[in-house]
Chain A
């Protein structure tokens, strides 16, 4: 067992932390304006959008653990930056990497990993979130095409992405509803697609969250990921990576809350001493420090599992559930430590609190993760082998140019 990060991991962390520091002033401005911050091109330029994909597919050849570390650093700056990685990399690029044919990888994965194109994952619908098996959007086969009709809602990067992984109902007659779903790579610039952003969000205000409406959108058969009827499994495997990145990001949010709290608690004085010396404040700091280490240990374990080529479904869900609840607590206590100042956007902690809230809902609500974990423990749920497994990390293969 080895808990040490490699030199490579440490340097990745340093580099992305630097970018985070550069991004924060821009984030503050756009969060206040409630508009997507124009930071994705810079992330592309720095190669961040290719972390978690081998070099031969346009990526940076960095492993799954690096992806987690990058997400931790990004969300320590702002959740919207991490959201980009969750959907562009976790839901979209890595899903093509996992399930795509060589042609699909060349055509779609390479430009995504190079950051020339932006990806998202469109699964949730206005009427169906947690109950994903019952989604309504349809895909009707007509010759060499599928005709997509319906609407996806609450989609991160809806207004900015070029490609989406979209799961729809291709067989309304399927015996079990989840067996009637198929997944597609959809070019969002296709005719028949309309999309826009949702306004009035509690958090992730410097990012895009929106809707995508499909009216008779023709998608070629060769854009189907996996087999017909395999959409549910593909989507759930995409969530493994989505959850992993959310967990790692929430860990960064705990750290940011902790660091802000430590700084403020040492400076602010009440009753003649820095508030850091009051036991009740110490307790809040102690909880944050504990939760940070626990959340980090959980997501790194999931990342390690993916590197090894073993299923991370259980650990990614556990990490996501724990880290997002802990990050909400940490951000809330960070606001408390800052007193009235924490209640204004003069300090970052109020933004942390608003951003932390969403992650308890998306990528599987925390109620759903509670049920998943109980079912694993009770033996009601176990991971069956997939037709295709996520490729493990092999440094030589991943870095081959």
Chain B
């Protein structure tokens, strides 16, 4: 797997966790059932995201930031040859590669990073 793709996946997972903790249901569950200190958790997640961001090339950082701050996902799966960000078919030459995750692929239509789940 492409190193930056791995970092992006991790960052996005953390961002999703952060967003989820800012709202009702997950926040209640994590603090109620699991006794999590929410404010502290948000801060920890924030820091970790910044740390990971530092590992990306400026160009990749910018694209990620732009997408995620618009409230969108920055990395989306390609399932059945379709980009799950914009639901447009991805040219098959990419999908046919041995492991498409070895490259950092960007959707030609919506600009999101592509991830091919196993």
Are A and B interaction partners? Answer: no
Question: A residues within 8 Å of B by Cβ?
Answer: none
